[in-house]
Amino acid sequence: MPTVYLPLSDAQLIFLGLLFGMIIGSFLSMLSYRLPRHLLGQWQQQLDEERTLTSSIESPQALTQIPSSTQQPLSEINLSNRSQCPHCLHTLRWWQLIPILGWLLQRGHCHDCHAPISWRYPVTELITALLSGAVLWKFGLTDTGLIALGLTWTLILITIIDLEHHLIFDVISLPLVWIGLLLNLNQTFAPLEQAVMGAVAGYLILWLVFHLFKLATGKEGMGYGDFKLLAALGAWFGIMALAEIILWASISSLIIGSLLLIMKNRGWQQEIAFGPYLALAGWIALMTTTA
C-alpha cells in the first residue's frame, strides 16, 4: 500500500497540484529553454576541439567537409544564470517570474524592451498545473503520487524540447529507464520481469520500425531518442503496456499531426516529432494504471 503523507480531500489535492504545478511549470519553461542550448553548446565545444586536433594532422581541405551547423558559436547559456529577457538580457524582477500572472501583468511583452514573450511560458505553466492536479487527484499525496508527479514533469520537459529541437537527450531518457526498473523492484507499476522485458522490447520495436522504414524508403522516419523513450516507458509500465502506448501515440500523432500540417499549410513530407506523442501515451498509461 502506498504511504499517505497527508490525508486531503479531492478538492484540496487538486488545488495543491494546480498550485505546485504552476511553480514547477515555470521551472520547466526555463529548463526546456536552457538545457538544450547548454548541451548543444557542450557538443559544439567538443567538435571545435576535435577540429583543432584534426587541423594539426590533416590538410586544411579536410575541414571543409564538416557540416556548416558545426560552425555555429558556442552557446553561452548557463543553467545557473538568473532569468533574463532573451532580447534585451535584462534580469527579470520577482513579480515577472510569477507563473502565468507575470506574463499577464506584462501583457505578453517584456517590461523593459517591449519584445514579445513567447506563449510557451504560460502554456507550459498551465499544462503542468492541470496535469499535476490530475495526478494528485488520482494518486493522492503518497509516495506513488510523488513518483507519478516526477514522471509527469519529465514527460512535459521531453515534449517541449522535442517539439522545439526534434531531439530527446540521453541525459533525460536514459535515467528514466533505470529509474523505472528500480521502482519496479517493488512492483510499483509492473512486475520487475515485465519491466525488464518492456525496456528491451520498447527499444527494439522502434529500432526495427526505423530500419524497415529506412530500408523501404531510404529515409529515417524517427530518431534514436524515440527508441530510448519507449524503452523507458516499457521499464515503467511493463511489456504488457507497450501495445496501448504505441496505439495511443500513433493515433494522437496521426490526428494532431495532420491538423497541425493543415493549419500551418505545410506539405506531408514535413518532419514531425514523435516524442511528444509517446510522452502523451506514457502519461495516459500512468493515469490508467492500477498502482
Q: Would residue 227 count as lying in a domain?
A: yes
Residue 278 within any structural domain of the chain: yes
Q: Does residue 1 belong to any structural domain of this protein?
A: no
Q: Is residue 198 one of the residues assigned to a domain?
A: yes
Split at pLDDT 50, 70, 90, the class of 200 is very high
Q: What is the pLDDT of residues 36-78, one digit of tens each?
A: 888 887 777 777 777 776 665 554 443 333 344 333 344 456 6
Residues 136 and 171 in one domain: no
Note whether 122 and 183 are same-domain residues: no
Q: Cβ–Cβ contacts within 10 Å for residue 147, how many? A: 20
Predicted local distance difference test score (pLDDT) of residue 61: 45
**Cell 498545473, residue located:** 129
Q: Which residue has the cell 522504414?
A: 213
Specify whether 76 is located in the same domain as 174. Answer: no
**Residue from 215, 17, 232 nearest 135 by CA:** 17
Question: Where is the domain boundary, 108, 141, 174?
Answer: 141
- Indicate if 122 and 173 belong to the same structural domain: no
The DSSP result for 40-103, as a single string, is HHHHHHHHHHHHHHHHTTS-GGGGGGS-GGGGSPPP---TTSPPB-TTT-PBPPGGGGSTTHHH
Residues 172 and 135 in one domain: no
Q: Are residues 177 and 249 in the same domain?
A: yes
The long-range contacts involving 165-172, CB below 8 angstroms and separated by at least 24 positions, are 165/36, 166/223, 166/271, 166/273, 167/36, 167/223, 167/225, 168/223, 168/225, 168/226, 168/228, 168/229, 168/275, 169/35, 169/36, 169/39, 169/225, 170/225, 170/228, 171/39
83, 110, 141 - which closes a domain: 141
Q: Which has more pLDDT, 105 or 232?
A: 232
Domain count, the chain: 2
84 and 184, same structural domain? no
pLDDT digits (tens, 9 = 90+) for 223-246: 889 999 999 999 999 999 999 999
Residue finishing a domain among 141, 173, 201: 141
CB 135 within 8 A of CB 145: yes
CA distance 284 to 82: 35
Residues 56 and 172 in one domain: no
Q: Tell me which residue range forms the domain holding 71.
A: 7-141
Q: How far apart are the first and last CA of the chain?
A: 9
* Alpha carbons 136 and 224: distance in angstroms, whole number: 32
154 occurs within a structural domain:
no
Q: Are residues 171 and 127 in the same domain?
A: no
- Residue 232 covered by a domain: yes
The predicted structure's pLDDT at residue 264: 67
Specify whether 205 is located in the same domain as 242.
yes
Q: How far apart are CA 233 and CA 282, in angstroms?
A: 6
